[in-house]
Structure 1
């Protein structure tokens, strides 16, 4: 039962978030073979000023073994 959490800068409209959730659902079902009913997607808005400490450090820097596509930026440099 995949549950995908997307954290992104706040400010995107609900319609765009729904489209993203649909695209992610299609990618998960097509790649893993799960039915659409097995997939859930959450989107968490994060203020840009909070990104480095609320997301980058705990979810990216501190969990390198779980990152399959690393970002191409470093907010601490």
Structure 2
């Protein structure tokens, strides 16, 4: 029962978010073999000024060993 959470900056349309959720669902079902009914996808919008405290520090820096795609940006930019 995969649940995928995407955290992103504001500025993407509802259509873009739905397309992303559909693509993630399709990939999860194809790669992991789950039915569509077993997959959920959430999209959380995080303001740029809050990125370090709400995303980078707890979800990226704090879990570096679990990231299969690591960010290429410099967190000191925020």
Name the TM-score, length of structure 1 as normaliser.
0.93
Residue of structure 1 equivalent to 2:49? 49
SS in 1 for 2:75: coil
SS in 2 for 1:71: coil
Structure 2: how far apart are the matches of 1:56 and 1:16?
23
Which structure 1 residue ranges, 5 or more long, are not aligned? none
Structure 2: how far apart are the matches of 1:43 and 1:66?
20
Give the CA RMSD over aligned residues: 1.0
Q: Provide the aligned length of Structure 1 versus Structure 2.
A: 77
Which structure 2 residue ranges, 5 or more long, are not aligned? none
Structure 2: how far apart are the matches of 1:65 and 1:26?
26
Deviation digits for residues 6-30 of structure 1, max 9, x if unmatched?
A: 0000121111100000000001001
Greater fraction of residues in helix: 2
Residue of structure 1 equivalent to 2:69? 69
